């Protein structure tokens, strides 16, 4: 997933450069393309944040289970 995010960041950077260099006639199309690529990147980041949240919750649950096992071993 990180590789895809990096690829999308590169696409957004290229789209931003194209928009910056576009003539007035091309500016609208370039701006729309930049917006589209940025939206894709944002959706990827939201998905990645969701995955990180799930992994964090899983890790917290596993930590709690380990703590319970340790407590049980000391009793």
DSSP track, the chain: -HHHHHHHHHHHHHHHHHHHH--HHHHHHHHHHHHHHHHHHHHHHHHHHHHHHHHHHHHHHHHHHHHHHHHHHH-
Tell me, yes or no, if the pTM score tops 0.85: no
Residue 56 has pLDDT above 90, yes or no: yes
What does pLDDT average to over the chain?
89
Choose the weakest-confidence range: 46-50, 52-56, 70-74. 70-74
Return phi, psi of residue 22, to 5°.
Answer: -70, 145
- The mean pLDDT value for 24-52 works out to 89
């Amino acid at each position: 997933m990180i590789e895809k995010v990096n690829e999308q960041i590169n696409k957004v950077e290229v789209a931003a450069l194209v928009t910056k260099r576009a003539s007035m006639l091309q500016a609208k199309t370039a701006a729309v393309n930049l917006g589209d690529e940025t939206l894709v990147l944002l959706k990827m980041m939201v998905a990645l944040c969701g995955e990180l949240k799930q992994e964090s919750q899983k890790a917290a649950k596993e930590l709690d289970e380990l703590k319970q096992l340790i407590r049980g071993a000391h009793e």
